[in-house]
Chains A and B, each alone.
Chain A
């Protein structure tokens, strides 16, 4: 049997030590009427050779072509060293560092990760990570409700420029806790939060304002003004950011006069492959005064009985295994392995490397926008953006993307499902992975697909 080492002799000796006459005897506390008689939907066992052949065939079936889809998951170069180290058994097959003395590797990695995230975001406290960016936003909303003791309304302003799936996940998670998520529309001219729409809430009891940077359309929001607006109105400011962009952009800890209260995002661009949407990780950083409201694990540096420095899980009194129904969250894992990848990835790129990646994204994106404008395409909203843009294609976005995929180019993400007014528009992403020739090919395939559809 796979992965079971027992010989017949072992079994005999073990049963003798137990005083049982068969393995079956060990199940005698399970009522007989409940016993199941065979599993039918599970196929018979296969060997490693057969499963390898099967999986290789299935992986080969999904030909991705040249990818210009972003929308929350971004294709970046990942150094070979990252996953070779991450999949070492000592990282891969360890568990939560409950026994700190025997887990200093994992604990130090998390401490270094927390340090790097604090440096990128400009906020002093990072937790050890959450599941993904969307669930991290939900946790930040819950955290803001706990932290903002002056606000009684539990109303959170959520711009429509925040990733639609993040909004949807946040609603799923906070729905039953009496928290009201209020949409804030965007200005159709700029693609930014509509300042007039926001101003309509001035003076009301608002618990928090969510501020995306860049926003879902790739557009840069006026984050200083939004952060200051939130604080002037007694609301917590929650940033939602792309971590790679922070190599170039103002850290959320420095937005406006005071900086945001907390910031979240998806860590995927820092070394996690696209991998059909996961595993990624969510990051959450906050100001020092909010640390006790932080959900999830946190690693701290301390000393041992001999005075030597080392690392432990700390502030565990916030967590479910201690506080049970009064915990800050039910979360008990972090995305340890992916965080390990991100830490190694950031160390390998360094400040300049990461800045070059972010810069190449900005430049490549601008370059594709210029090519498309030359060909007469309409690109709405402001040109102040990071690495994504909205492209009006004049035909149904989903149909166009199917055509482009058939020609070997994943042309972007259709916007019609989430923004009916943008059903003839797609969201396009360019990262450092795209060459000038790739951009030319994009334009050619796009024009052909559009012509085919129009004709």
Chain B
């Protein structure tokens, strides 16, 4: 039932709004709304019960194992939330003078410093509001760098075919043509194809390492050299940082710019799809182009650096300074882990991924890259099951819901057919992983014995599978008052 269907004319929540109607005579008639906005009229209890019940229809990290590949669904520590929501932080207006903002600014400055350390970059801006905006900032800086040097013939961005869809979309938004680079049989970038593709038109390359195939790009140094020799820059998609924290740093691999999904590696909440935070880090040569504002330190005072300090900046990306509340959560998380905790994240996320991979392989699941180590994640392909039993990756994903596990990422990366991208994260215990493996074993048996059962899943959720074609054809995206 929709909240609108609980509405009754005249039902109110008087304690939530000013008493009495205000005198708005100063507002001329020609600017006034003629009918009240069609919002629901419900009591406070109606609202609390309705949305509490809706929440219970969700799978979440707090309630379920959620091995969604490339999304790093690790535990979001509760204290990160409660400290970011201290009244002093919540009440701070973004335009409050710096003189009354030193507490907040010190957290942001220290977060910048910690992110520099963990990535090996020379400077960090926290302002991008999500990974895709961080990507945009990164490629816009590459663009600004070439332009500032008068090197305007560089019109192409190279993107491996395994990349996240945001990479090519970002390159287009920055005015670049996209050239795809194929992957070789072992999951690394095809070096010969790369060498053939680079040239005077190359502005840069966008790489994820570990790649979205769940493997570490072993020839990263050679790739950096090839692209740099051609005059291009290297962009690091930091979606997958979890497995290399404290082990290897993008700056040391030769990258010029990186974005970090703080909602993945640094455990800020995914919130049903956001808000994220996509901080960017840069090498020395891209420093002048960082998006503003950035927090600077002068003696013991912190202050915002703006266009006055960074006149070559690519500019502002948000009305204020990014998703500050998310940044505070990441700050708390990094302080709790400390310098010794960072490599442990890599250790245990890698251990968990390799363990589940080994167990699934021994059950008879096919791995996309059986000769490789898993990083924080790995890929299972159901190509054989799809062909022999008609059971697809989507069917397995849906059946997992019945066993009480969120599905892995399905059908991504696009180049592995019928794939499941599985990322357990370091915060899951062996018992949870074993229970998941057991469910995968049962599904494999079901696929052989009664494939129809797997294909009809799920059976235990609020809904069975949806008619998505109808959703797109008979578009219903808003409740209509006259319809009831």
Q: How far is the CB of A171 from chain B (nearest CB, A)?
A: 6
Contacts of B221 in A (CB 8 A): 31, 33-34
**Docked-complex contact B41 and A39, CB < 8 angstroms:** no
Query: A93 and B76 in contact (CB under 8 A), knowing A27-B247, A276-B321?
Result: yes
- Nearest CB in chain B: distance from A112 CB, A: 5
Are A111 and B477 in contact (CB-based, < 8 A)? Answer: yes
CB of A62 closer than 8 Å to a CB of B: yes
Contacting pair A62 B100 (CB below 8 A): yes
Q: Name the residue of chain B whose CB is nearest to the CB of A365.
A: B26
Compute how far the CA of A431 lies from the CA of B173 in the bound complex, rounded to whole angstroms: 38
Does A189 reach chain B (CB closer than 8 Å)? Answer: no
Judge if B428 is at the interface, Cβ distance under 8 Å: yes
A3 to B132, CA, bound (A): 28
Chain B 49-61 against A: per-residue CB contact (8 Å), 1 yes, 0 no? 0111011111111
Q: Which of B23, B54, B91 contacts A273 (CB 8 A)?
A: B91
CB pair A36 B248 closer than 8 Å: yes
Chain B residues lying within 8 Å of A52, measured Cβ to Cβ, are: 79, 83
Residues on B with beta carbons closer than 8 Å to the beta carbon of A116: 39
Kindly state whether residue A416 has any CB partner on chain B within 8 Å: no
**Which residues of chain A come closer than 8 Å to B3, judged between CB atoms?**
112, 343, 347
Near A by CB (< 8 A), chain B positions 323-365 give: 323-326, 328, 332, 334-342, 344-348, 350-352, 354-355, 357-359
Residue among A81, A325, A357 having the largest count of chain B Cβ atoms under 10 Å: A325
The answer to the question of A391 belonging to the interface, with a C-beta cut-off of 8 Å to chain B, is no
Interface: B114 (CB within 8 A) = yes
A-B contact count (CB 8 A): 682
Q: Given contacts A17-B359, A92-B81, A344-B47, are A105 and B57 in contact (CB under 8 A)?
A: yes
Within 8 Å by CB of B358, from A17, A75, A109, A178, lies A17
Q: How far apart are the CA atoms of A335 and B124 in the complex, in Å?
A: 23
Given contacts A101-B466, A178-B175, are A351 and B17 in contact (CB under 8 A)? no
User: Does A352 lie at the interface of the complex (its beta carbon under 8 Å from any beta carbon of B)?
Assistant: yes
Interface residue ranges of A1-40 to B (CB < 8 Å):
1-6, 10-11, 13-15, 17-20, 23, 26-31, 33-36, 38-40
Do A109 and B51 touch across chains, with their CB atoms under 8 A apart?
yes
- The answer on a CB contact under 8 Å between B106 and A58 is yes
Q: Which residues of B lie under 8 Å from residue A185 when comparing CB positions?
A: none
Contact between chains at A3 and B75 (CB < 8 Å): yes
Task: Please name the residue on chain A nearest to B248 by beta carbon.
Answer: A34
A405 contacts B136, C-beta separation under 8 Å: no
Inter-chain contacts of A72 with B (CB < 8 A): 319-320
Kindly specify which of B226-234, B384-392, B445-453, B457-465 makes contact with the partner chain: B457-465
For residue A357, which residues in chain B have a CB less than 8 angstroms away from its CB? 17-18
Q: Is B74 in contact with A92, judged by CB distance below 8 angstroms?
A: no
Residues of B within 8 A of A172 (CB): 140, 291, 314-317
A260 on the B face (CB < 8 A): no
Does A44 lie within 8 Å of B247, measured CB to CB? no
Distance in Å: Cβ of A439 to nearest Cβ of chain B: 14
| Inter-chain contacts of B58 with A (CB < 8 A) | 90-91, 94, 102-106
Q: Which chain B residues lie closer than 8 Å to A109 at the CB level?
A: 51, 54, 272
Query: A135 contacts which of B104, B120, B317, B328 (Cβ < 8 Å)?
Result: B317
Q: Tell me the smallest distance from the CB of B219 to a CB of chain A, in Å.
A: 9
Restricting to B19-65, which residues have a CB under 8 Å from any CB of A?
20-24, 26-28, 30-34, 36-42, 44, 47-48, 50-52, 54-64
Contact: A14 with B355, CB < 8 Å? yes
Q: Assign chain B's interface to a size class.
A: 35 or more
Encode B155-182 as 1/0 by CB contact (under 8 A) with A: 0000000001110111111110010000
- The docked-state distance in angstroms from the alpha carbon of A279 to that of B354 is 36
* Docked-complex contact B273 and A277, CB < 8 angstroms: no
B99 touches A302 (CB 8 A): no
* Alpha-carbon distance between A326 and B107 when the two chains are bound, in angstroms: 39
- The residue that A96 contacts in the complex, of B83, B168, B270, B374, with Cβ under 8 A, is B270
Q: Which among A88, A120, A315, A323 has the highest number of chain B CB atoms within 10 Å?
A: A88
Interface flag for B299 (CB, 8 Å):
no
Q: Which of A286-334 contact B (CB under 8 A)?
A: 291, 297-306, 308, 310, 312, 314-315, 317, 319-327, 329-334
Let me know if A215 is at the binding interface, CB within 8 A.
no
Question: Is B377 at the interface (CB under 8 A from chain A)?
Answer: no
Given A62-B100, A133-B319, A383-B26, A3:B74 Cβ within 8 A: yes
Are A51 and B336 in contact (CB-based, < 8 A)?
A: yes
> Bound complex: CA of A112 vs CA of B6, how far in Å?
12
- Other-chain contact of A41, B44, B116, B316 (Cβ < 8 Å): B116
Q: Which residue of B lies closest to A134 (CB)?
A: B319
Contact with B along A340-378 (1 / 0, CB 8 A): 100110111111111111011011101000000000000
Contact indicator B471/A362 (Cβ below 8 Å): no
Expressed in whole angstroms, the Cα–Cα distance for A15 and B100 within the complex equals 52
Please state if B114 and A248 are interface contacts (CB–CB under 8 Å): no
Residues on the A chain within 8 Å of B174, using CB: 176
B439 at the interface (CB under 8 A from A): no
Interface flag for A124 (CB, 8 Å): yes
Given contacts A3-B426, A359-B21, A402-B97, contact A312 B57 (CB under 8 A): no
Pair A44/B2 contact, Cβ less than 8 Å: no
Residues of A near B456 (CB, < 8 A) are 305
Residue in contact with B318 in the complex, picked from A103, A135, A364, CB distance below 8 Å: A135
**Contact of B59 (CB < 8 Å), options: A103, A129, A319, A360:** A103
Partner pick for A276 among B54, B104, B406, B409, CB 8 A cutoff: B104
- B131 at the A interface (CB under 8 A): yes
Closest residue of A by beta carbon distance from B27: A362
Q: Is A393 an interface position by the 8 A CB rule?
A: no
| B150 at the binding interface (Cβ < 8 Å) | no
Contact B315 A88 (CB under 8 A): no
Contact at A176–B140, with CB atoms within 8 Å? yes
> For B83, what are the chain A residues with a Cβ–Cβ distance below 8 Å?
51-52, 55-56
Contact A101 B463 (CB under 8 A): yes
The 5 closest A-B pairs by CB, nearest first: A277-B320, A89-B62, A45-B338, A59-B88, A337-B271
B463 and A104 form a contact (CB under 8 A): yes
Closest to B59 in A: A102
B104 contacts A62, C-beta separation under 8 Å = yes
CB of A435, distance to nearest CB on chain B (Å): 11
A23 and B246 within 8 A (CB)? no
Minimum Cβ distance to chain B for residue A366 (Å): 5
> In the complex where A34-B248, A63-B100 touch, is A350 in contact with B13 (Cβ < 8 A)?
yes
Q: A396 near B: Cβ within 8 Å? A: no
Measured CB to CB, the closest approach of chain B to A85, in angstroms, equals 5
Chain A residues, Cβ within 8 Å of B347 = 23
